[in-house]
Every structure is written in C-alpha cells, then in structure tokens.
Amino acid sequence: MPSQVAPRSQLYALLVGIDNYPPPVTPLKGCLNDLQHIADYLSRETSDFDLHLRKIVDREATKANLVAAMKSHFASAKEQDVIFLYYSGHGALEEADEVFFKGAQEGKMETLVCYDGYTAADGKPVFRLLADKELRFLLSELSQTGAHIVTIFDCCHSGGNTRNGFFAKEGEVLERRQICRDAPSQAFPKRDWTDFIFADKVSRDHVKNQSLDTILPEGRYIHFAACQHDESAFEVGGEGMFTKRLLEVLTRCGGSLSYFDLQARIQNYLRYQFKQTPRAFASGDGNPLFLGFLNRKGASKPEYGNVNLNSTDGWVIDLGTMQGLAAGSQLIILDDKFNKVGAGKILEAYANYAQLEPSDGTQLDPACSYKGFSTDYYFTTLQVHLSIVDEAILLDLQQALTLDKSARLIEVKEAGQADYCIVEKSRKILLTRPEKPDTPIVPVMDYTIGQTGVVVRNHLNHISQFEFVKKLQNPNAFMFARFPIEVSVFQKGAKLVEEPIHIVRDELFPYYAGDSEGEGGSIRIKIKNVSDRKLFCSLLYLTFNFEVHVKLLKEVVVGLSRNEESWALDGAAIALNLEEEVASYNYPESKSTLKVIVSTSDFTQQALRFEMPALPGPLDPGQKGLEISKNRFTPEVQDWITRNIDVTIKNPHYRS
C-alpha cells in the first residue's frame, strides 16, 4: 500500500503598495519598490509552499478593495497554511471613539491610508481610513481558519499601526505618514460608528459595556511593524529602510530564523540610523514570536543574544543589564549553525543592548549575524542543601548540579543557609523550601541514577531564572526621583461597588471569598505614567508556582506618554483563585508578585525573554493565583527602574 504524502502547505500572500496617492495626500516613492522586492523574495525563497500571490497597487488599493481582497484571497486557507499580508504606504492617526480609549494610544487609533483614504468631494474632505480596530476585526475572522497569520506593515505609527509627508532632503529621505493639517493634533476626525466595517455586527453599546477582547477578540497572528506607534518609517532612495533590512536578514539566513531573532537583528541594524524602532507583536497564547518565519521550524525561547555590526555602536548584542550583563562580561560567539567562531567581551552595557569587542583572533564578517552566549546571562545563584542518605544518589546529584559549571547552584551544609532543599525519603526525592522540608514544590520523584539528577537541576535552573526576574532591579537608576508609574488596583466590595485597594509598603491584600462562598472575587489593575516624559512599561505577574506572565498589558511593553494610562487585560476583571497546594499543604497564604518594569527606551525583546511556564505542581494543577488567559540623531540617555508589589491571598482553610 503506497505511503501517504502529507499535503503541501499553502502560502496565501496579499501585497498592498501605494505610491501615487491623489491630492491632498503626499505621494511616496518607495512603496511599489518595496512590494516588488517582497514579491520577488516570496517567489524565490518559499519553494516549500504552494504560493498564491496577489498584488494590489495604487488606485486598486481602495479601502473596499482591500477589505474584499482579505476576505476572498484568504478564504481557502486551512490550519496547515500561512496567511501573509504586507502593506507599504501611508499611515495616519484618527481620533478614537471614547469607547475605545482603554485600547487606543492617547485617544487615537492607528490607521492605514488606502488610495481613497483622504479625498475631497464638492470641496469637502472624505475619509476612508482603515482603522486598527477594523484590522483587528478582519484578523479575528481569519484566525478562525486556524492558519498561521503574519502581517507586515512598513508605514508610520505601524507599531499599533502607520508613513509622514516630510522631506529631509528632497528626493533622498522621505518620512512616511499622512497628517490632517486642519487638526491641531494632526489626527483625522472621529468617524461615525456606522463607518466601521463591523458596525452591522458590533454595536457601540456592546463595546462600551464590555471589554474589547470580548467584543472584538484579537485572534492569533504575528504582526511586524516598521516603527513604534508614535514614530515614523523612512524610505531612502526609493526603498523603505525597514523592508530593506527585513529582506537582507531573511535572505542571509535563508528564512530559517524565528520572528524574535528577525526583529532583534533588524533593530540592531537600524539602531541610531533613524529614530525608527521596528517591533514585532504576537497575539495568542504561548510564545508565537519564537516560531520560525512563516511557521517554519523555529526555536524555543533563546538563551543567546543576536550579535550584529551597527554603523554607530560597532558590534552590539541585544542583551543588556536587564539580562545580567555588565562591562567585562565574557561572550562565546557562534554562527547561525551554532559553530563556535570566537569570543568577545562586553565594553559597555545598557538597559536593552550592549557594545562588545571581539577577542584577539576572532574575525567577524560585518555582513553576518552571530549568536552570543554569556555565563552571566539571566540567573541568580541559589544555595542548595542536600539531605541525602544514599551515597550513590548523593554523588549522582552532586555531579548533576555542578555539570553546567555556571555557579548557578551552590551546595551548602546547613538547611538554614539554603534557598531550597533536596530531601531523600526511601529513594524518593523531594524538592522543598527550607521552612517546609516535608512539603514538595514539584512532583515527588523516584530516583534513577543518571536521570533524576538532571531533572532536579533543570527545576532549580528554572527557579534560578525566576528569582532573577523577581529580584531584577537597577541599582544605578539616576533619572527618577520617585517611581514614575502609578499602580492602581480595584475590587468590588460588599456593596458590589468597585473601590481601590490600598497598596501598603508594596504589598496588596485583595479580599478572597473562599470556595464556600462561590467565586473568590476579582480585581482590575491600571498603570499610569505620572512623570513628565514618555516611558516604556511592562507589567509582569510572577506566580506561586514559578511562572512568569508577561502579557498583562495590551502588549508586552507599552509606551505611555505623560498622564497616559493602560489597563491590565484591557480592563477586564482578573479572577482570584487559591492554588490547590496552598490548601492541601496548609500554607497560611499564597504569595505572588506584580512587577512593574519601566525604561526610557523600548525593551520588548528583553521582556519577552522573561516569560516562563509554571513548574509542575506536586498536586494536579488547578487555577493558580490570578487567572490570566492572554534620520540620524544623538543617542538618548537610557535608564530603567523596577517595582515589586506582593499579592497576598490569605488561605481561609489554614490551620494554625
């Protein structure tokens, strides 16, 4: 009987490019070039797919045509297929309806300026902008196919989504963004609700009274943007700088790298050439950014940094003080196939990157990218006490714990000196906290020589990284006289009226009803920039079971201007739940931590590295803690700071 051959994956690519906008929109020069370069790359480098390519350019690229094309061209996509949407053209801001304010930057929506996005009729302006909320609606529908979705926008404001009719030198550098010259904010006026493409399916009242995630679910997709939402995308000599670097990186590595690495390498190349910070965003659970480009085989969360030559800083790596690097840290440098090519040393470390110097004899090709490993990366030293009777087990454990020689784990003689204990009971191994030596924090293990010791070491290395994130702080912060982000937590009280919960000495005690009273209650969390400058913020949640969530906010890192706010989970209520282990092992309380990280520069790449799954619990895992589903310029001075807020839920079943 002949073997069945797996069906080939289909790649459905829709490319949109607009140069020749009608007045009053400023024409562009490089968008059609960008589109053709993307088309050439897809035709040349995607032989592992059946390619279905469609282009929409200039006058064809009206809003109605673009929406219709997204629905028709992608209609046949299935779970094993890839949907690819590329846009090169103008972007703009639009005043947002008030119901979107929690999900709109500074009360604005980012939009794509289609060919008919800004025209005039009878002397009056007519607007047909494609808003980010409409793209969200379309992508949510497409995600129902189960296909892998990638969107790439080379336009201004594209970080949330958008190009600026501004010439630095005529014909040489063009900024890509369209402004509304009649408005002080330069944003286009708020539209009537009926002008949204989803108006017949989603009412304004529904959005007003429920969270955006409930009404307009985001779907699962990867989004690449040429810049932050408040930045510009530039083209030079008829080429978009972002698209040019994107294709250079993809071509050099044959497309075989993750979205995470792709973003990091483009950022390293563009750093300080223009005030333009390319970024990637992934919706959905897990780590989609660690998948391979176009859903090819990728990698898990990397424990290396990307090393590139930058025209301003020299050789740089996309790791910095947030990952534990400092001046003098040593690096091992490998090529993309993990072959060692030499070594290097950190010269100067900043919040989210570092300058390095190749060691004597290390020859690096300026046109290539490399991987850099450091033993200083992302760990806290743990002191471990071994309470082991069987000598063979003791020797095997000691060998396993010192195998990586990174000084992450140090054996101590007394349990009172230890951070964690390894206890043997009848050839069964317990990993415990010293204050509760009989209470396991992971499943009890039958010991097998040559195997169990490695599992224990991996658990402890996981905890070492968790403790690094929890303790992460910048002892040399100098730009903040006080913590610049205000954290507010709200909970409904006995009268079902939402009230603020006071944070006392960085500790939060929400009311927990307990199992006997039904739901344990819920909280809502808001952060606000109370400084006088724009800042980049991340809100992490570190659980009782050594898990680190990084996606509490709309994005892993959000940029907040002065007095701007952002709500965790878009303002949705976050359920409180007590871990099963807390009740079963009679812990007096469950402690978790909210961690706020603030920086003067974007650190999305660094924050993504902090995400960690939970360790397996000693009992069947239940709900744990908070129930969470989802132009050249002078380099600016960088600084960063953190704050931890412990969330303590009292165990109503505790027996003293």
**pLDDT 10s digits, 4-36:** 566 789 999 999 999 999 988 989 999 999 999
Q: What is the pLDDT of residue 216?
A: 75
Q: What is the pLDDT of residue 421?
A: 94
Q: What is the pLDDT of residue 516?
A: 44
Within 8 A by CB and 6+ apart from 577, the residues are 520, 622, 623, 624, 625, 626, 627
- 3-class secondary structure per residue, 504-548: ECCEECCCCCCHHHCCCCEEEEEEEECCCCCEEEEEEEECCCCCE
Q: What is the pLDDT of residue 546?
A: 92
Beta-bridge partners for 541? 549, 594
Amino acid sitting at position 286:
G
Q: Are 128 and 63 in contact (CB under 8 A)?
A: yes
Domains, the chain, in order of start with CATH, read 10-295 (3.40.50.1460), 305-373 (2.40.30), 382-471 (3.40.50), 485-650 (2.60.40)
Q: Considering only CA atoms, which of 499, 502, 498, 522 is closest in space to residue 512?
A: 522
* E strands present in 96-232: 108-112, 118-121, 124-127, 130-131, 148-154, 166-169, 173-176, 222-225
Q: What is the pLDDT of residue 520?
A: 65
Q: How far apart are CA 17 and CA 21, in angstroms?
A: 11
Q: What is the pLDDT of residue 37?
A: 96
CB-neighbour burial class of residue 378 (10 A; exposed 0-12, middle 13-18, buried 19+) = buried
Q: What is the secondary structure of 284-346 as a DSSP string?
A: SSS-GGGSBGGG-S--SS-SSEEEEEETTTEEEES--GGGT--TT-EEEEE-TT--EEEEEEE
Rounded-to-5 percentages of helix, strand, coil across the chain: 20, 30, 45
DSSP β-ladder status, 382-387 and 409-412: parallel
Q: What is the pLDDT of residue 64?
A: 96
Please give the helix or strand (H or E) that residue 55 lies within, else none: strand 50-57
Within 8 A by CB and 6+ apart from 331, the residues are 307, 317, 343, 344, 345, 346, 356, 372, 373, 374
Question: Which regions of the chain are under pLDDT 50?
Answer: 1, 160-171, 516-518, 621-624, 628-636
Q: Considering only CA atoms, which of 439, 467, 630, 632 is closest in space to residue 546?
A: 467
Secondary structure class of 136 (helix, strand, coil): helix
Q: What is the pLDDT of residue 637?
A: 58
Angle at 593 between CA 588 and CA 594, to 5 degrees: 145
Q: What is the pLDDT of residue 289?
A: 82
Q: Angle formed by the axes of helices 259-270 and 241-252, to 10°?
A: 130
- What is the per-residue pLDDT across 191-211, written as a single tens digit (0 to 9) for each? 999 999 999 988 888 887 776
- What is the per-residue pLDDT across 603-644, written as a single tens digit (0 to 9) for each? 888 888 898 888 888 875 444 455 543 333 344 456 788 899
Beta-bridge partners for 140? none
Which token pair is 597? 């990280």
Q: What is the pLDDT of residue 632?
A: 35
Q: What is the pLDDT of residue 597?
A: 96
Q: Angle formed by the axes of helices 63-73 and 132-143, to 10°?
A: 10
Within 8 A by CB and 6+ apart from 62, the residues are 114, 115, 116, 128
* E strands present in 231-286: 233-236, 239-240, 279-282
Within 8 A by CB and 6+ apart from 543, the residues are 549, 592, 614, 624, 625, 626
- What is the per-residue pLDDT across 140-189, written as a single tens digit (0 to 9) for each? 999 999 999 999 999 886 654 423 333 333 345 566 667 766 666 678 88
DSSP β-ladder status, 589-599 and 485-492: unpaired
